[in-house]
Amino acid sequence: MSAEYIDLPAAKGARGSVRLPGSKSISNRVLLLAALAEGTTEVKALLDSDDTRVMLEALKQLGVGWSRREGSDDYRVAGIGGVFPVKQAELFLGNAGTAFRSLSAACALAGGDYVLKGVPRMHERPIGDLVDAVRQLGAQVEYLGNAGFPPLKMAPAVLEEVAEVTVKGSVSSQYLTGILLAAPLLGREVTVKVDGELISKPYVEITLNLMKRFGVTVQKNGWESFVVPAVKYKSPGSVEVEGDASSASYFLAAGAIGHGQTRVEGVGRNSIQGDVRFAEALARMGAEIDFGANWIQCRLGCADKLHAIDLDCNHIPDAAMTLAILALFADGTTTLRNIASWRVKETDRIAAMATELRKVGATVEEGADYIKVTPPAKLVANAVIDTYDDHRMAMCFSLVSLGGVAIRINDPGCTAKTFPTYWDVFKGIAQ
């Protein structure tokens, strides 16, 4: 979608069932694991979006063969069983944190000359903690722009026989994920220690779960250290990607805001994604939630308003943005805490959320790591929302229309990062 804006009419409600696109976090991890593994992997229901496209393209440039089954989101990846065969490449990774951080670690240990770059915003997203960690292993990494940020230039690592590496966990969990995913390339046991409090922990659970499916069982000692054995990745044959739990949050919230009943299919009780716990927060706000093995359903039930909540959202940083919108429909002030990482994502999400929520009439207080949202007596109609090239800002603010006011969303095409078909799917549930 290349339109400058989309006008969403005031909707009376929301109802319906949505099949979710594939999980971004699972898709990009599985692609890298399948690439590094011995054997061929059939990857089913991969997310088709900007973030996975840059990952697929980068793997191709690094010499990994893959093909897509025509007319489907199913892929066959021919694992290389070790390090990348192409020893020189310049990779463009857009604004995909999951691709940038994991490929940085893998390329740094892969014995080649690589340059990794992205869009201007990616060059403002920190990566110093990951670079510091791979350097302990002997990686030769240089900053091409500002120290601590992409783009990065890598020369063949002079691998040292160190048995331990320490990574900081307080800015992004993706650095730890990157080191864990790449560690089996070392061919020896290595202990990865976490320095300081680790944020976004459920994403590391996804990493460990998928590494195990590819034959590498990491020994986890609390959240302090992880022992990665000297075992090579082996393809499990086939992997089916779950629906995206962060994308699910918009449709579940729609059911509550729109006083209807909505259902998402593709994630459920058995999900390995931490963002399914968004449903718990929604239940605390008064919505009725039902879980099946592979679906989640939401309705507001007899409550006519949602309850305000005060919640530590560190475990659900992405879906927590949807809670900030739900706060517009609550009976008091909602506080979302421990979300400092919002400031270094697609945009400064705390600032962006505060600015745009004020446009629809909310009273908002922001701090370094929290946001407090007090709803207006009446939502302002016809607000024009800026989205800051942040897919979640666009998807979040679409929900305001379900509260019975028209809204304009600028640059709706930015949802392509994780959900290119979002607007059609959204129109399908808005009444």
Ligand X SMILES: O=C(O)C1=C[C@@H](OP(=O)(O)O)[C@@H](O)[C@H](O)C1
Ligand Y SMILES: C=C(OP(=O)(O)O)C(=O)O
Residue 244 near ligand Y by CB under 6 A: no
Which residue from 317, 375, 413, 420 is in contact with ligand X, where contact means CB under 6 A? 317
If the CB atoms of residues 203 and 295 are measured against ligand X, the closer one turns out to be: 203
- Footprint on residues 363-402 left by ligand Y (CB under 6 A): 392
Tokens of 343: 């400031």
Say if residue 61 carries a ligand binding annotation: no
Separation of alpha carbons 325 and 360, rounded Å: 10
Say if residue 305 carries a ligand binding annotation: no
The DSSP code sequence of 298-347 is EE-TT-SSBPP-EEE-TT-TTTHHHHHHHGGGBSS-EEEES-GGGGGSSS
Shortest distance, position 320 Cβ to ligand Y, whole Å: 10
Separation of alpha carbons 176 and 194, rounded Å: 8
Amino acid at 55: M
- Footprint on residues 75-134 left by ligand Y (CB under 6 A): 95-98
Shortest distance, position 363 Cβ to ligand Y, whole Å: 25
Phi/psi at 369 (nearest 5 deg)?
A: -135, 25
Nearest CA to 68 among 87, 52, 82?
Answer: 52
Q: How far is CA 280 from the centre of its chain?
A: 19
199 DSSP 8-state letter: P
Separation of alpha carbons 318 and 94, rounded Å: 19
Say if residue 173 carries a ligand binding annotation: yes
The answer to whether the beta carbons of residues 263 and 279 sit under 8 Å apart is: no
Shortest distance, position 101 Cβ to ligand X, whole Å: 8
Separation of alpha carbons 28 and 32, rounded Å: 6
Say if residue 349 carries a ligand binding annotation: yes
Residue 172 near ligand X by CB under 6 A: yes
Say if residue 12 carries a ligand binding annotation: no
Q: Which stretch binds ligand X (CB under 6 A): 104-112, 167-175, 227-235, 395-403?
A: 167-175
Which residue from 66, 84, 114, 203 is in contact with ligand X, where contact means CB under 6 A? 203
Residue count of the chain, please give it.
431
Tokens of 276: 């399914």
With contacts defined by CB under 6 A, how many residues of the chain interact with ligand X?
13
Which residue from 29, 259, 315, 345 is in contact with ligand Y, where contact means CB under 6 A? 345
Is 318 in the active site? Answer: yes
Q: Does residue 151 have a cis peptide bond before it, meaning omega lies within 30 degrees of 0? A: yes
Residue 177 near ligand X by CB under 6 A: yes
Tokens of 157: 């690592």
If the CB atoms of residues 105 and 429 are measured against ligand X, the closer one turns out to be: 105
Shortest distance, position 133 Cβ to ligand Y, whole Å: 18
Say if residue 172 carries a ligand binding annotation: yes
Tokens of 388: 């800051």
SS3 244: coil
Amino acid at 300: L
If the CB atoms of residues 273 and 418 are measured against ligand Y, the closer one turns out to be: 418
Separation of alpha carbons 380 and 382, rounded Å: 7
Residue nearest to ligand Y (CB): 97
Token pair 């086939």 is at which residue? Answer: 238
Residue 25 near ligand X by CB under 6 A: yes
If the CB atoms of residues 51 and 366 are measured against ligand X, the closer one turns out to be: 51
Residue 177 contact among ligand Y, ligand X, none, beta carbon within 5 to 8 Å by kind: ligand X
**Which one from 318, 386, 390, 411 is the annotated catalytic residue?**
318
Give the contacts of 292 (CB within 8 A, at least 6 positions apart): 268, 269
Q: Which stretch binds ligand X (CB under 6 A): 173-181, 219-227, 257-265, 350-358?
A: 173-181
Residue 263 contact among ligand X, ligand Y, none, beta carbon within 5 to 8 Å by kind: none
Residues that bind ligand Y (CB under 6 A): 95-98, 318, 345, 392, 418
Annotated catalytic residues are 318
Q: From the annotation, which residues make up the binding site for phosphoenolpyruvate?
A: 24, 97, 125, 174, 349, 392, 417
Q: Which residues are annotated as a binding site for 3-phosphoshikimate?
A: 24-25, 29, 172-174, 200, 318, 345
Residues of this chain that interact with ligand X (CB under 6 A) are: 25, 97-98, 172-174, 177, 199-200, 203, 317-318, 341
